[in-house]
A = this chain, B = another copy of it.
Amino acid sequence: MQEDLDHETYMARAFQWAAKGYSDGGCPIGGILVKNDTGRVLGQGHNGLVQEGNPIVHGEMAAMRDAGRMPNRHDTTMYTTLQPCFMCAGTIVQFGIPRVVIGDVVNASSDETIRFMRGKGLEVVVMDPRTSEAAHACVELVAKFRSEKPEQWMEDWGGGPNPALTPG
């Protein structure tokens, strides 16, 4: 069904967005939406929590916004430097994006969103930081950021679990 995209190349590009976000004082997470059959980049960007004061602009969301309007995204791949949160996983599911490629799952607290996306029939590719230079860079940068700005990291994830909620 899908042409083979070179994950390493696109992840390296997504990492460049993450690195730009970091150098601006923001959260270092980038996303790129790519057309499968041509390899064309439809949209790209980085987390904008700090730069825009906007909590909904995660890396994947920035890529979605940049790509803009289209009838559907049924033949695309979302590259993201960090495992999607539920906002971004829900977006990928809702917009029928059939594949997501993730650079860093090491800094995620669980694999819940991956299981959610797979449960909806999506292909989820997790790159291995031991063999991918780009994925390794993604993991290292977020680890550095987390240790430098733990409160900003927590805010970006929505402030942590709500103690009033007891998932069934």
Copies in the complex: 2
**A94 interface contact, C-beta 8 A:** yes
- Inter-subunit contact B96/A86 (CB<8 Å): no
Q: Which residues of B contact A64 (CB under 8 A)?
A: 55-56
Distance, CA A166 to CA B1, complexed state (A): 13
**A69 interface contact, C-beta 8 A:** yes
User: Which of B65, B89, B160, B166 touches A56 (beta carbons < 8 Å)?
Assistant: B65
Q: Which residues of B contact A70 (CB under 8 A)?
A: 55, 155, 159
Of A54, A163, A164, most B-chain CB atoms within 10 Å? A164
Q: Which residues of B contact A73 (CB under 8 A)?
A: 158-159
User: Which of B55, B69, B97, B121 touches A68 (beta carbons < 8 Å)?
Assistant: B55
